[in-house]
Amino acid sequence: MSSIQTPGQVLDAIQKARAGAAAFCTNFFPVESKLQGWIDHRELFAEWHPGAAFFFRTDRDFRHFYFCAADGAALEQGIASSPGLKDGPVTTDLVGSGSTLEHLPPIFERAGFRRYTQLQRLARIGRPETNDGTSDAGFAKKEDGPTALRLIENSFDRHGEQLPSPYEMESAVENHQVLAVKRSGELAGLLFFETQGLASSVRFWAVAEKFRAQRVGSTLMQHYFHIHGTVRRFTLWVNSGNENAITKYRHYGYAPDGLMDHVLAKGMIPQ
């Protein structure tokens, strides 16, 4: 594997794999700001194969695997000869809807991947009615960052739900992307979001165990909607097996939009 030095290397590799491809397939849709962060922290590596470019991002004790391939055959041949897929635990996300994903999971399963978990995307269109009132929710402060990250790590699966790194958490707090509720000086809950123009996505919504059943979660969600009065499309990803979370999101008007994320794992990642 080679260390990636610039975003241009990534974009050039994607274009090369796409050029003239009749059945191009990929799970890599990099946002330049995130891409630069991975490069700056030496987390991103690449392999080049005939008709395919592979990328590996280091995350805690494993790697995320991303691919761009001219077609399924080039992807399968690249996977079979990839040194990066033989070295340590790795996960990959296959995102799509309906029949668009039928041909990809078998390619990975033949290479030793197994189905790990499944996420579904929920969406809400239009401005929600809010009753923010005298909400005690507000933007997290710099000193809240480490505690907020621990709450996320304790509430979500690091292998299946792409948790933020410490520097990503610090940046999100600094850029007012994390709402927090504090009770008696403690972080009771948080809502981590990303907003671009008329679209906003909830990445993480969590309440510390000792503060559950105290309307902390609803306070956060109501305040999130309140400060996004111009947003017209709200989305989020949720584990398909987490009926409790899905029920709560439905209460706020979210519903499945058909997009699924099949997370596959290889190596020593517990089931």
Query: pLDDT tens, 21-52?
Result: 889 999 999 888 889 999 999 999 999 999 99
- The C-alpha atoms of residue 31 and residue 86 are separated, in whole angstroms, by 27
Per-residue pLDDT of 90-126, as tens digits, reads 999 999 987 777 889 999 999 999 999 999 999 999 8
Residues 136 and 55 placed together within one structural domain of the fold? no
Same domain? For 83 and 146 the reply is no
pLDDT band at 132 (very low <50, low <70, confident <90, very high): low
Structurally, how many domains does the chain consist of?
Answer: 2
- AA identity, residue 152: I
Tell me, yes or no, whether 52 lies in a domain: yes
In a domain, 183, yes or no: yes
pLDDT given for residue 269 in this prediction: 77
Same domain as 145, residue 76? no
Contact 241, 115 (CB under 8 A): no
In this structure, are 226 and 147 located in the same domain? yes
Residue 102 lies in a domain: no
Q: Is residue 58 part of a domain?
A: yes
In this structure, is residue 159 part of a structural domain? Answer: yes
Region 169-195 average pLDDT: 96
Across residues 170-180, what is the average pLDDT? 97
- Identify whether 63 is part of a domain: yes
Q: Are 4 and 39 a contacting pair, CB within 8 Å? A: yes
72 and 141 part of one domain: no
The domain in which residue 76 lies consists of 2-88
Give the pLDDT of residue 134: 57
Same domain, 77 and 147: no
Q: 190 near 163, Cβ under 8 Å?
A: no
Co-location of 51 and 137 in the same domain: no
Same domain, 152 and 227: yes
> Can you give the CATH number for the domain in which 174 is found?
3.40.630.30
Q: What is the pTM of this model?
A: 0.93
The token pair that represents 125 in the structure block: 């269109």
196 pLDDT exceeds 90? Answer: yes
Residues 143, 52, single domain; the answer is no
Q: What's the rounded mean pLDDT across residues 185-214?
A: 96
Percent of the chain with pLDDT over 90: 83
Nearest-angstrom CA–CA distance, 110 and 117? 18
Give the domain-ending residue among 88, 111, 141. Answer: 88
Quick one: 227 and 134 in the same domain?
Answer: yes
**Predicted pLDDT of residue 133:** 55
Angle at 266 between CA 263 and CA 269, to 5 degrees: 85
57, 88, 119: which is the final residue of a domain? 88
Q: Is residue 97, in this structure, part of any structural domain at all?
A: no
Q: Do the bridges between strand 62-69 and strand 25-26 make them parallel or antiparallel, or are there none, so unpaired? A: antiparallel
One-letter amino acid at 121 equals R
Please state whether beta strands 255-266 and 114-125 pair in parallel, antiparallel, or not at all (unpaired): antiparallel
244: in domain: no
Assess whether 58 and 131 both reside in one domain: no
Q: Which of residues 73, 88, 103 is at a domain's end?
A: 88
Same domain flag for 145 and 210: yes
- Residue 234's pLDDT is what? 97
